[in-house]
Amino acid sequence: MFRSLSAWLDDRTGWKHLLQEALFERVPGGARWRYIWGSTLTFTFLIQVLTGIVLWAAYSPSSQTAWESVFYIEHVMWGGWLVRGIHHFTAQAMNVLLVLHLAQVMIDGAYRAPREVNFWFGIALLAVVMGLSLTGYLLPWDQKGYWATRVATNIVAVTPVVGPYLQQMMLGGTDYGHHTLTRFFALHAGVLPAALVALTVVHILLFRRHGIKAKEPFRKPDAYFWPDQLLKDAVACLVIMGAVLFLAVYVGTPLDAPADASEPYSAARPEWYFLFLFQMLKYFPGETEVLGAVVLPSLTMGVLFLMPFIARRRGGHAFNLAFLGALVLAASILTILALRQDRNDPDFARAVAQARADAARAKELAAAPAGIPVGGAAALLRDDPATRGPRLFAQHCASCHRFGGHDGMGGTPADAASAPDLKDFASRAWLTKFVDPAHVDSADYFGGTRFKEGKMVRFVKRTVAGFNDAQKADLAKVLKAVSAEAALPSQRAADAAEGSDIAAGRRLIDTEAMRCTECHEFRKPNENATAPRLTGYGSRQWLIDFIGDPTSDHFYGKRNDRMPAYARDQVITAQEIAQLTDWLRRDWYVTPPAPAPGSDSGAGASASAP
């Protein structure tokens, strides 16, 4: 039954003959490990096609949805992370295998007549695979891919004459953005794979035409592709697959924070196998860039192309080998230099740490109940106080203020601190230190301001310094009451637990012993008030109003030191003031901890946590 069916099919297709041809390819001198590279490349390409189709089924190529869909593949879709990991690391393996294949072909002289044309096809395949790597890097639409590819498309523009047009074609307009992504996707999933298939088919047909360029001397009698060579090839493929799986499972595939054109990213680097190009360009600054970006690569490609002819001359083969060796050596040295420079660069280290933190935060927010906004994943971080707050602080406030001694992002500003340190502003700890005679006129509080000799400092240094133990205990209650005005999310548990102290503190504020309302207003109108209002002190609204206009009568009035009026003078937007406020108050979304039995979940939870 089977036999007659197969005979029927063979009659119509001749498949038996084809299979025969394929399997009984003669391998002069017997099967060898050095012939495995072509097969492994075909195998890895097949894996890329299969995993690529699965990824394609879930990927959504638009600047607003690409990151979201990759996040979905990575964290929600069943097995998606593994498929993506295999695709990611097999791509890297292909680049390595290509170099090995090229090296083997060169060393064995398999590029020489009559195999020149096939050699050229091989070079074209190399270029296509590099194109696939380059275009694939952009598709997750994360910060790293976005900024690294932006550099790459800018390099295209330095090509003489056609450069700018070429760049426009790649970008899909004058702007780098959504249309660049759709174009790269069309290249990555359509044009380049099709080209790869076509080139590979011809490559293999031509290869079959001339047969293996066997390595002499033969050590063994001739054999056939099946089973000896096929077995070796299969073992090699399994080893590669094992390595890829290991990397996919234990290293994992990176997904950076969503691409954001308004958030420059100095940690952007190309994939490691392009690092040498990146490093080389550093040696061609300004006008000379065209040499590094266009002339040198073209010359190299030209020499590669001409190698079969060079090999005809005496010493030509040796020259070719030396050239390839020098190329690999130079690329390795450049790669090592690039890695070393980055490792010794503290700015880069900080940028990488920041990028990691942003990526983790973006994923945390994406997984939150609110999910990813319709406007796209970039808004996740753009609207997040925990991410935006430090940046805004470093940019606008750190010239005078500090945050825990630094500029909000861990850096040290050029100017010395000349205004209060705002870390944990209005918390009990912050206030306790503030009304401490040893600290109130220090650089952390009023030391750098004109209030160093102001009424408050005088009050603390004279009156508070002389407090007896009972008065100190009362002052502690007062401070609890003032701090409770802020309703800080981090103090919610403490505020709730010490309600009676807080109530007592509220009464004490208005007493002659504590004197606060001699100068401050607290909870009820006070015509004598000349100092900042303590009602709602440090609360969200208080801070928004204060940052908006510290010269208001509720605050410092005309006595305001240099603190700018950010809303009144429209220095920053209302949204930015709110983000700064929420960040100072540590009021942002955090993933609720998994409930542990008997644990107290109040402290440290955010306002958005239940």
The answer to the question of residue 102 lying near ligand HEC (CB under 6 A) is no
Q: Enter the tokens of residue 63.
A: 């600047």
| Rounded Cα–Cα distance for residues 257 and 377 (Å) | 9
C-alpha closest to that of 525 among 554, 547, 567:
554
The answer to the question of residue 454 lying near ligand HEC (CB under 6 A) is yes
Taken in order 112, 118, 120, 122, the sign of the CA dihedral is negative
The answer to the question of residue 502 lying near ligand HEC (CB under 6 A) is no
The answer to the question of residue 247 lying near ligand HEC (CB under 6 A) is no
Vertex 47: Cα angle to 41 and 50 (nearest 5): 145
Contact 380, 367 (CB under 8 A): no
The answer to the question of residue 585 lying near ligand HEC (CB under 6 A) is no
Q: Enter the tokens of residue 459.
A: 């009050």
Q: How far is the CB of 414 from ligand HEC (least distance, A)?
A: 13
| Rounded Cα–Cα distance for residues 115 and 203 (Å) | 10
The answer to the question of residue 459 lying near ligand HEC (CB under 6 A) is yes
Measured from the CB atom, is 136 or 389 closer to ligand HEC? 389
Among 136, 308, 505, 532, the residue binding ligand HEC under the rule CB under 6 A is 532
Q: How far is the CB of 400 from ligand HEC (least distance, A)?
A: 3
Among 70, 355, 478, 494, the residue binding ligand HEC under the rule CB under 6 A is 478
Contact 266, 347 (CB under 8 A): yes
Measured from the CB atom, is 7 or 513 closer to ligand HEC? 513
Report the residue closest to ligand HEC, judged by CB: 454
Contact 376, 258 (CB under 8 A): yes
Contact 565, 548 (CB under 8 A): yes
Among 112, 520, 585, 586, the residue binding ligand HEC under the rule CB under 6 A is 520
- Of the chain, the end-to-end C-alpha distance in Å amounts to 69
Among 516, 526, 567, 586, the residue binding ligand HEC under the rule CB under 6 A is 516
C-alpha closest to that of 118 among 56, 25, 201, 177:
201
The answer to the question of residue 403 lying near ligand HEC (CB under 6 A) is no
| Rounded Cα–Cα distance for residues 543 and 521 (Å) | 16
Contact 327, 302 (CB under 8 A): no
The answer to the question of residue 380 lying near ligand HEC (CB under 6 A) is no
Among 515, 554, 590, 609, the residue binding ligand HEC under the rule CB under 6 A is 515
| Rounded Cα–Cα distance for residues 389 and 579 (Å) | 6
Burial of 322 (0-12, 13-18, 19+ CB in 10 A): exposed
Region binding ligand HEC by CB under 6 A among candidate stretches 117-125, 223-231, 277-285, 542-550:
542-550
The answer to the question of residue 556 lying near ligand HEC (CB under 6 A) is yes
Among 566, 583, 588, 589, the residue binding ligand HEC under the rule CB under 6 A is 566
Omega before 592 cis (within 30°)? no
The answer to the question of residue 145 lying near ligand HEC (CB under 6 A) is no
Q: How far is the CB of 445 from ligand HEC (least distance, A)?
A: 7
The answer to the question of residue 372 lying near ligand HEC (CB under 6 A) is no
The answer to the question of residue 390 lying near ligand HEC (CB under 6 A) is no
Among 157, 296, 519, 605, the residue binding ligand HEC under the rule CB under 6 A is 519
Contact 447, 561 (CB under 8 A): no
Contact 116, 311 (CB under 8 A): no
Q: How far is the CB of 546 from ligand HEC (least distance, A)?
A: 5
The answer to the question of residue 400 lying near ligand HEC (CB under 6 A) is yes
Place of tokens 């004279």: 462
Place of tokens 């309600």: 499
Contact 180, 145 (CB under 8 A): no
Measured from the CB atom, is 352 or 519 closer to ligand HEC? 519
How many residues belong to the site for ligand HEC (CB under 6 A)? 40
The answer to the question of residue 510 lying near ligand HEC (CB under 6 A) is no
The answer to the question of residue 472 lying near ligand HEC (CB under 6 A) is no
The answer to the question of residue 506 lying near ligand HEC (CB under 6 A) is no
Q: Enter the tokens of residue 207.
A: 């290869």
Instruction: List the interface residues with ligand HEC, window 419-438 (CB under 6 A).
Output: 419-420, 422, 425, 434
Q: Rule CB under 6 A: which residues touch ligand HEC?
A: 396-397, 399-401, 419-420, 422, 425, 434, 449, 451, 454-457, 459, 478, 482, 514-516, 518-520, 530-532, 543, 546-547, 550, 556, 560-564, 566, 580
